[in-house]
Amino acid sequence: MNAAPWQHTTVLLHQAIDALVTNPSGVYVDGTFGRGGHSRLLLQRLAADGRLLAFDRDPEAVAAASAGVARIEDPRFSIHHANFTELSQVLASMGIAAVDGVLLDLGVSSPQIDNPARGFSFRFDGPLDMRMDPTRGESAADFLARADERAIAEVIRDYGEERFAVSIAKALVARREGERPVRSTFELSQLVARAVRTREAGQDPATRTFQALRIFVNAELEALEQILNASLALLKPQGRLAVIAFHSLEDRIAKTFIARESRSEFDRRAPFAAPRPVRLNALARIRPDAAEIAANPRSRSAILRVAERTAVPA
């Protein structure tokens, strides 16, 4: 499918690259290529001997980097159709043991949201898919067709922070038992609108349910935990980690990880052992300014967190 009609405005573009690039001759990773806004600016900042490896689990994003007007033709650049959780394996296969920076721009991209065929948005009717990589895994519709009421409620509550999760799950199961399982985005949004008794001002009642199913189907929070640990292991001393999050669950994981790795801790099970050394220094927490939010309202919830790898103890 040609994704060219759906455009993406990169959030916190200059702030992220300014914070990330400290060694123009270094090796950098863009763990979430999207449509390449961050990657293109990063390449502008690199010297002739620098290198950028980009990852994306969405085959349409990979295709955009490889063909058409948006393709990147630069010998310093390579793109890999893989989840960023596969970072360590891909780098090892290329003989790369350490990198100078890792950028993670989390969440869903505008081309994914705006393409009805992807099923991410309640604003358009389309198949209830929500997979970032539609060639792998289980769609949201397939999950709702097989899961029991308790499992559905837990997903909507835990990943969407939806207080009417049980009511929504009951309605989904009742519809399924009536041999009318939810298969489209409009069917789901209409069902949720009937099940949610009170609405938040300025927010569609289906927002939290769609968020929850997307996060669950793509195992986004589990993947984030994995890539943060992998990035820490790969970063050189003074290498930078930059994470852009768009909702509280993602940002909480990034914030907690950086805070934990920015302090020395004793192992209570071994009171005479040396404390675990500090491995990160938290550098910044950056929000979009008013001009960026006015130009791109989808940026309003974004938070960029930046940390630097400390020197490795001898």
Average pLDDT over residues 211-229: 96
Q: Which fold has domain 13-111+220-309?
A: Rossmann fold (3.40.50)
Task: Give the pLDDT band (50/70/90) at residue 313.
Answer: low
Average pLDDT over residues 279-295: 95
Mean pLDDT across the chain, nearest whole number? 92
Looking at per-residue pLDDT, the higher value among 271 and 10 belongs to 10
Task: Give the pLDDT band (50/70/90) at residue 4.
Answer: very low
pLDDT given at position 252: 97
pLDDT given at position 197: 82
Task: Give the pLDDT band (50/70/90) at residue 275.
Answer: confident
Give the tens place of pLDDT for each residue, 42-77: 999 999 999 999 999 999 999 988 886 678 999 999
Average pLDDT over residues 24-52: 96
Task: Give the pLDDT band (50/70/90) at residue 1.
Answer: very low
| Percent of the chain residues topping a pLDDT of 70 | 93
Given a cut of 90, whether residue 210 has pLDDT beyond it is yes
Q: Which fold has domain 134-217?
A: DNA polymerase; domain 1 (1.10.150)
Given a cut of 60, whether residue 292 has pLDDT beyond it is yes
Given a cut of 80, whether residue 270 has pLDDT beyond it is no
For helices 149-160 and 207-217, give the axis angle rounded to 10 degrees.
Answer: 100
| Percent of the chain residues topping a pLDDT of 90 | 79
- Give me the residue spans of the domains in the chain: 13-111+220-309, 134-217
